[in-house]
Chain A
Amino acid sequence: MKKTKKKSQIIKWDKLDNTANIFPVIASESMTSVYRISATLIREIDPLLLQEALDRVLPLFDVFHARLRRGIFWYYFETNTKEAPRVVPEKTYPCRYISPYSNRSYLFRVTYYKNRINLEVFHVLTDGLGAITFLKELIYAYLRLVEPSLKNKCKDTLSSDTSLNKEDSYIKNYKKQPAKGYKKEKAFRIKNEVMHLSELGVIHGYLNIDQLKLVSKSFGVSINTYLLSVYTYSIYKEYVKGRLTKKQKPIAICVPVNLRPYFESITTKNFFAVISSSFKPDKEDYSFEEVLEIVSKCIAGQLNKENMERMISYGVANEIKWYVRAVPLVIKNIAVKHIYRVSAAANTSTLTNVGNIELLPEYKEFVERFHVILSMTQDQNIKGSVISFDNSLVFTISSRLKDTSIQKSFFRKLASDGVDVIIETNGVYYE
């Protein structure tokens, strides 16, 4: 894989996908819209070789090899002609803000700490699936440089499983039909003492997938629904139970759904929609089984292609109206901020599952595990994320709350249901 310097100098431009339009407007130091996907390898990271791997891989991924620019009517991407961002040691809390004007104007950063490679991505570029595609190729390229056994065994090219497609799948799959707007009912908000703006508390829970399968099967639901129910129940138990008000707001968990399987898309840009699991307590005491039943019914009704099409329709229909397009960006931004504020207030927290990571067999033995960490957003002080690799599932709860009672309830419930739980934190709760 040679550096393609000439190719990288050709300045291409591209529109932001339908979802991406929101992120440059809302992102700031306090709400970064940055997520982290990291891979822990079996050996300590060599920063020089990681930099070389990044230099080689980056020019091949147009989606990442870009900078964000401001037009009169829309933001847009343009090929970034600068060198790849510098690989630096991890020195800050995860998911810090990525300014479009720092970091050599790249909208992602690569850091390392001991055995771990962190890829932090500004959501304007892509969603978790797109980031995983890039991270996998970065890991492959790095391993080919550091592992002598791979040098002869593997070709120095991208894997044939990797997609470089960068279509806007929202536009591609848009159908004119009655659209489904964003949820407007305000959700219960978790309020408590928060950490410093730059801090982020992270607790990883390492879980065995076979055990999780058994437990969720015993409740008659999927692993995802089981985890979502435990998460909802933990919030209810720690912040609502015994404090029910007359106008009790629902505990609404926003669940991002990967739309690629529904529409046979292989895009590396954003292509997700969000469904919401809503649990509105109207009596004092709910058992876990009752919460699970409410959550699973709520989710089941939304996970179908027709619903996803309606959600796509709403976003795209607004984007393609001529009078919306003709509005200058400055004014559009005000409207986008307002819409975001309303829709953000409709969720208590977010729980995302980026799925199971599959690596090529030659590389698998060199990778121990993956983690995913989400940054905080307006009105959401705690979020959950899931990633699986090699029969191990990592459930990460990131939070800016000093209180860890939700995390405690969550992992205690899993342990009491018979799942072995191993906890690792980023040390914030010990400071």
Chain B
Amino acid sequence: MNKCKKCGVSIVNDEIACPLCSSVLERDEEMLQKEAMYPLVTLDSKGFRMITRIFFLSSILLLALLFLINYATFNGIWWAAICAGGMFYAFFSLRSILTANTSHIMKIFLQSIGGVLLTVLIDHSIGYSGWSVNYAIPTAVIVLEFLIVILMIVNRDNWQSYLLFQIFLIIVGVVMLILSFNKIVQHPVLNIISVFISLAIFVGSITLGDKKAENELKRRFHF
């Protein structure tokens, strides 16, 4: 074992200097642990972080340029805002997809929210004719409902995990119907269809799921 005269301690690592005070060690070859008991770790995240930063910085520069061009050639449409929304959505989506810190259900949920906000932004940027709330959002709800059904079949051991997402989609549909009373949504037909599909899938899941569905809802709503 190596010895540090200054610290008065023995060191098992096969090194020249003391890890505590950096003094040169007295070597004792006999008791020395030749093999390190910890692996040599290489940090590989630096490259990824650098790429993210470069992407982020170039996006900001590009957006600044687009807004400048949009301002200089303004013809009544803030198309640069759509580009900004699209880029933000792309950045947010990539981050959400690549991170391991959220479930796939949460990823779909966040993607949906991001997508909906983007459509509303585009609608507003080109003079708001209401297509985002009349058609885009209910279509997104219907697509998500069918996606959920597919996921429930694929992940059939754990199909009940999607019940909460189904409830969320019903709430979205109901909110859209309420907005139709305030005339914010002017063509509610697609919204009515989306609520009907959402309710049908939910009721179907509860009926067919029986005890499993009941337990899932109990767990999710326990307080």
Q: Which bracket fits the contact residues of B?
A: 35 or more
Q: How many A-B residue pairs have CB under 8 A?
A: 113
Q: Which of B53-61, B76-84, B96-104, B129-137 forms part of the interface with chain A?
A: B96-104
The residue in B9, B15, B17, B43 that gathers the most chain A C-beta atoms within 10 A of its C-beta is B9
A92-118 vs B, CB cutoff 8 Å, 1 = contact: the mask equals 110000011110000000000110100
Residues B223 and A73 in contact, CB atoms below 8 Å apart? yes
In B140-176, which residues have CB < 8 Å from any A CB? 157-158, 164
Q: In the assembled complex, which residues on chain B have CB atoms less than 8 Å from the CB atom of A72?
A: 164, 220-221, 223
Residues in B with CB closer than 8 Å to A411 are 7, 9, 20
A423→B12 contact, CB < 8 A: yes
Q: Tell me how far the C-beta of A117 lies from the nearest C-beta in chain B, rounded to whole angstroms.
A: 13
- A412-B20 contact in complex given A71-B219, A113-B37, A116-B37, C-beta closer than 8 Å: yes
* A408 within 8 A of partner (CB): yes
Would A421 and B8 be within 8 Å (CB), given that A92-B41, A101-B103, A196-B43 are in contact?
yes
Whole-angstrom distance between the alpha carbons of A425 and B17 in the complex? 12
Inter-chain contact A423/B37, CB cutoff 8 Å: no
In this complex, what residue of B is CB-closest to A199? B43
Most chain A beta-carbon contacts within 10 A, residue among B1, B15, B219, B220: B219
* Total residues of chain A contacting the partner, CB 8 A: 50
B residues near A40, Cβ cutoff 8 Å: 37
Interface membership of B209, Cβ < 8 A: no
Q: A101-B101, A101-B102 are in contact. Are A423 and B19 (CB under 8 A)?
A: yes
Q: How far is B38's CA from A202's CA once the two chains are assembled, in angstroms?
A: 10
Given the complex, which residues of A lie within 8 Å of B223, measured CB to CB?
72-74, 325-326
The answer to whether the Cβ of B125 comes within 8 Å of any Cβ in the partner chain is no
Type the 1/0 row for A399-425, where 1 means its CB is closer than 8 Å to any CB of B: 000001001100110011000111111
Complex contact B39–A113 (CB within 8 A)? yes
A226 to chain B, nearest CB (A): 17
Pair B41/A93 contact, Cβ less than 8 Å: yes
Q: Check: A177 CB closer than 8 A to any chain B CB.
A: no
Contacts of B41 in A (CB 8 A): 91-93, 199
| Residues of chain A with a CB closer than 8 A to B157's CB | 81
The answer to whether B100 touches A99 (Cβ under 8 A) is: yes
Decide if B100 touches A101 in the complex (CB within 8 Å).
yes
Binding site for A on B (CB under 8 A): 1, 7-13, 15, 17, 19-21, 33, 35-41, 43, 45, 100-104, 157-158, 164, 215, 219-223
Task: Pull 23 A–B residue pairs with CB atoms less than 8 Å apart, ordered by A.
Answer: A13-B219, A40-B37, A69-B220, A71-B219, A71-B220, A72-B164, A72-B220, A76-B219, A89-B39, A99-B100, A101-B100, A113-B39, A114-B35, A205-B9, A411-B9, A411-B20, A421-B8, A421-B10, A422-B10, A422-B11, A423-B9, A425-B38, A430-B13
